[in-house]
Chains A and B, each alone.
Chain A
Amino acid sequence: MQIGYYPGCALHGSSNDYEMSVRATLTALGVQLKELDDWICCGATAAHSINKKLSMALPARNLAIAERDGYSEMLAPCPMCSMELLKTIKELSDSPSLRREIAEVIELPIKGKTQVVNIIQVLQMVGVERIREAVKRPLSEFRPACYYGCLLTRPAKILKFDDPEQPDSMEEIVEALGAKPVQWNYKTECCGAGMTMANEDTVISLSHKILSNAEAHGANCVVVACPMCHVNLDMKQRDIERRQGARHRLMVYYISDLIGLALGLGEHELGIDRHFVSAPLAAVKE
């Protein structure tokens, strides 16, 4: 299987561990990623907070490049990028006059027909059964809290993926790996996302609640599919502990990390040794 690939700035920056993990795991599953030529930033929160037109033009430029180069499907592993791309597709498909206007702004014709998918959707395209069959090392000691955060499923009108209140697509995948996901309450609560720099207090308090709830329900690790969730829950975990006077020490994995581990790939290859928290998995109480 071959698919277009829009890494986005995070995966080419401080979340390069996510890119390593996505690439290694998808390669092992026989998925070939074709990186979009000269892609640009999607604009993220800054663009949609400050200038509506810019928040459509930046994703549109990338969509137009994907169309020009013949990618009908494109993976955007960062849910922020994914949502900005999908939001733009929706706005463009609703208005022919907007399509003409944006085409002029971005200097490329645009139809807005590319199918943008997240990492979980690519894994579903590979097939949960195929993943189950490929497992070499079952993850029986893993009791993950699958954390979806905001933008993987919300707003459902745009994302059209899983259930926005009770998603379970990651649970289905980790179960196929032999892990036992826990049931918990904070699956879709926000971690503070891109406020990491601008308003750290927010991130600390929201992320603390998420980690605490995961532990309270017996999780010995957290699984995410978003670079911002990972930064807030992993990189900021020491800060959270210091500021909240709590001890978490919870490993935070990307969904692709767990599949990679189950397929027999190494921690170095998957970028897991770049994570901030490195702690043994707490023993599972039966």
Chain B
Amino acid sequence: METTANLISEMAHTAVEDCYQCGKCTAGCPMADVMDLMPNQIVRLAQLGEEGRAVACGAIWLCVSCQTCTQRCPKSVDIAAVMDAMRQLSLERGTASESVKRTVAFQRAFLDNIRRNGRLNELELVGQYKTMAFLGDVSVPLLFKDALLAPKMMQRGKLHLIGEKVKDRAVVRRIFDRCMRQE
């Protein structure tokens, strides 16, 4: 039977079993002070086959993917990739907590935008993300928050009303479908 440690190691293309809990990842993490589980604890849970606790925590969504942990790990465990694997599992199992819904909504809106346009259309993304977060009842003021920045961006020629689209959008859609299907 495949153990969970193997599952995370396989998903993250790294060997979580190599971790000896020195805590260097947590020491250098810019988000550790607001995390509910520390990066080294998340790796430990992966080792023990208790990833169920890790995929329900808020920490995996607070991780900013800065790669400091991966860079500094004396055992070459790719902790940032472990975080990615945990996020992916969390979505598959539907364990993302209420507090991280905004982040999840944003990532989903981002990908949906790319799937349709091939390139990011920022204005459309903002609208879509706010609507998704709003419908998910995350936060109503969110809808209006960035409205203050938009005119200033427009004034500086930094916001385009009509975003770029790639010519071959059909292939982008097929790539997305193939990747999502093989999940």
Contacts and interface: CB of A to CB of B under 8 A. Distances in A.
Contacts of B105: 198
B93 to A, nearest CB: 13
A31 interface: no
Contacts of B152: 276
A111 B121 CA distance: 30
B166 A54 contact: no
A127 B85 CA distance: 41
A51 B64 CA distance: 16
Bin the interface of chain B by size: 35 or more
Nearest to B146: A197
Interface string A98-124: 000000111100000000000000000
Contact of A48 (B65, B70, B91, B126): B65
A202 B107 contact: no
Given A49-B84, A58-B175, A43 B114 contact: yes
Interface stretch (A10-18, A213-221, A251-259): A10-18
Interface in B99-114: 102-103, 105-108, 110-111, 114
Given A105-B179, A197-B126, A202-B31, A16 B157 contact: yes
A209 B128 CA distance: 31
B160 interface: yes
B71 A164 contact: yes
Given A54-B176, A155-B67, A38 B111 contact: no
Interface in A186-212: 188-190, 192-195, 197-199, 202, 206
A62 to B, nearest CB: 11
B36 interface: no
Interface string B155-183: 01111100110111001101110111011
Given A41-B119, A202-B62, A50 B30 contact: no
B135 interface: no
Given A14-B158, A150-B66, A190-B68, A51 B179 contact: yes
A102 to B, nearest CB: 10
Nearest to A105: B178
B175 A57 contact: yes
Given A12-B164, A50-B108, A107 B87 contact: no
Given A50-B108, A57-B179, A14 B66 contact: no
B120 interface: yes
Given A190-B64, A199-B103, A53 B179 contact: yes
Overall SS of chain B's interface? helix
A235 interface: yes
A235 B146 CA distance: 12
A275 B152 CA distance: 10
A14 B64 contact: no
B100 to A, nearest CB: 9
B143 interface: no
A202 B65 CA distance: 13
Best-buried of B11, B64, B176 by chain A (most CB within 10 Å): B64
B158 to A, nearest CB: 4
A227 to B, nearest CB: 11
A185 interface: no
Given A38-B166, A50-B91, A14 B122 contact: yes
Given A106-B175, A107-B171, A155-B67, 13 more contacts: A9-B120, A9-B122, A12-B164, A13-B163, A14-B159, A17-B156, A41-B118, A46-B114, A48-B84, A50-B91, A54-B111, A107-B174, A197-B146
14 contacts: A41-B114, A41-B119, A47-B111, A51-B183, A52-B84, A54-B180, A106-B171, A107-B171, A154-B67, A155-B78, A197-B106, A197-B126, A198-B102, A199-B62
